[in-house]
Amino acid sequence: MIERTILKTIEESIIQSPVTVLSGPRQVGKSTLVYNEFAKKGFSYVGLDDVREKSTAKSDPISFLQQHPYPLIIDEAQKAKELFPEIERIVNRVRLEKGSQAANGMYILSGSNSKALLDDAKESLAGRANILKMPPLSMREIQGKKEIPFYPDKISSENRSKDFLLSEDELLKYIVRGFMPELYDNPSKDTTSFYSSYLQTYLERDLPDVLEIKDEIKFENFLLLLASNTGEELVYENYSSQVGVSSTTIKTWIDTLSKMGIVYLVFPYNENSITKRVVKRPKMYFFDTGLACFLAGIRDSKTLKLSFLKGRFVETYFFNEIRKSYLNFNDDIPLYYYRDTNQNEIDLVLVKNGTISSIEFKSGVQFSLKDIEAFNTLKSSKLLPNTNCILCTTDKPYSLSKDTIVLPASGI
């Protein structure tokens, strides 16, 4: 099993908080990680996929938690929201009787329905739960290399670029395969059958809990269209006309997919000095390139290389890797993009520690100053300028200007 960066973050959360909530889309490795790592540390495990356990948890949460005393892992915890008030009561009692420190590390709650789990945890366990979001595998985890939150820096980024080599053809193979742990624990696993089963399970088990779909064919057509537009701005009216449902329905569908962790919305960066010219629509990225490729009908890297979708999927890969590097350290940092009415566009605006960086995602190896002209639009920012960069399919880093570097995939 591939070592997961987020494991240390979970261990720290258990030390600091009574309840650790581990959310994330189906199959990213939540259940496997918490069971394998924490059952041996004294935690009992119960999964609410078991019909009998779920029934008891819903009808008699007091009895359920007496039968399964802490420290306890409850998998698919969102299936019995009735447990949350009782968990709160138990935590409060332990805090009162033994002190706050003694109450830490009582429960780990995991679940694949991110929206339901997070909503219930925020409502019932405020101040008692630390909420973590687990992404799929990162490239650094697959390569067995140390991972840190991505921050463009000439020296450290160039040094990290030497950790492993990844040609464009190899990168495209990873993009099509995706980053679900099961596909790497079992390398002979066929991706088409995996994602076909994944989609069916999602449509039949996860989605009905949070959204009523009146026309499944239209919804599946919507998913196919959405996947083909990963990395693009969201224009709800365009989806409405192509799918044949109202813009309101499209917005509801996208909001639900976002809350469940299937897609991620990136909002435009804005400062007072530029507010009048900034495009207001968000961009959308699929959480996993493998699922997006499957939905878009791309089954192999050679097809992707010749497809007009290549740039979108390469961009989605780079964006996801940066976001994973933060989520694995429980830092759900805001990520922005920039586009204005003059068609200046920056794929990612990274704001951190009072600094700002402009980042472009490209499929290619050689670039000129013309490719980064849009970076000039943020020079008037009140934030301190940090190193800018182009992330691309080059095999080694190089400087494009005094404040812009070009990095390969291994530079993240």
Categorize the per-residue pLDDT at 385 as very low, low, confident or very high, splitting at 50, 70 and 90: very high
Mean pLDDT over the full length of the chain: 93
Q: What is the mean pLDDT of residues 41-70?
A: 96
Which bin fits 42, alpha (ψ -120 to 50), beta or left (φ > 0)? left
Q: How many of the other CB atoms lie within 10 Å of CB of 305? A: 15
Q: What is the mean pLDDT of residues 332-347?
A: 91
Which residue's entry shows tokens 């939905």? Answer: 295
Sequence spans of domains, the chain: 6-133, 139-411
Q: What is the mean pLDDT of residues 357-364?
A: 95
Q: What percent of the chain has pLDDT over 70?
A: 98
pTM of the entire structure? 0.94
Q: What CATH code is assigned to 6-133?
A: 3.40.50.300
Q: Is the pLDDT of residue 118 over 80?
A: no
Higher pLDDT, 112 or 141: 141
Closest CA to 277 of 342, 358, 335: 342
pLDDT at 276: 60
Tell me the pLDDT tens digit for each residue of 156-190: 998 999 999 999 999 999 999 999 999 999 999 99
Of 76-85, 112-121, 184-193, 205-214, the one with minimum mean pLDDT is 112-121
Q: What is the mean pLDDT of residues 315-338?
A: 96
Q: How many of the other CB atoms lie within 10 Å of CB of 402? A: 7
Answer yes or no: are the C-beta atoms of 24 and 135 closer than 8 Å: yes
Closest CA to 61 of 78, 88, 80: 80
Burial (0-12, 13-18, 19+ Cβ within 10 Å), 15: exposed
Please give the C-alpha separations between residue 321 and each of 107, 155, 183, in angstroms, as whole numbers.
Answer: 29, 20, 17
Which helix (H) or strand (E) element contains residue 243?
A: helix 236-243
Q: Is the pLDDT of residue 117 over 90?
A: no
Beta-bridge mates of residue 222: none
Answer yes or no: are the C-beta atoms of 22 and 10 closer than 8 Å: yes
Categorize the per-residue pLDDT at 116 as very low, low, confident or very high, splitting at 50, 70 and 90: low
257: Cα separation from own chain's centroid: 12
How many C-alpha atoms does 205 have within 13 Å on its Cβ side?
Answer: 15
Tell me the pLDDT tens digit for each residue of 195-212: 999 999 988 888 887 888
pLDDT at 218: 95
CA atoms of 180 and 162, how far apart (whole Å): 25
Q: Which amino acid is residue 34, in one-letter code?
A: V
pLDDT at 59: 97
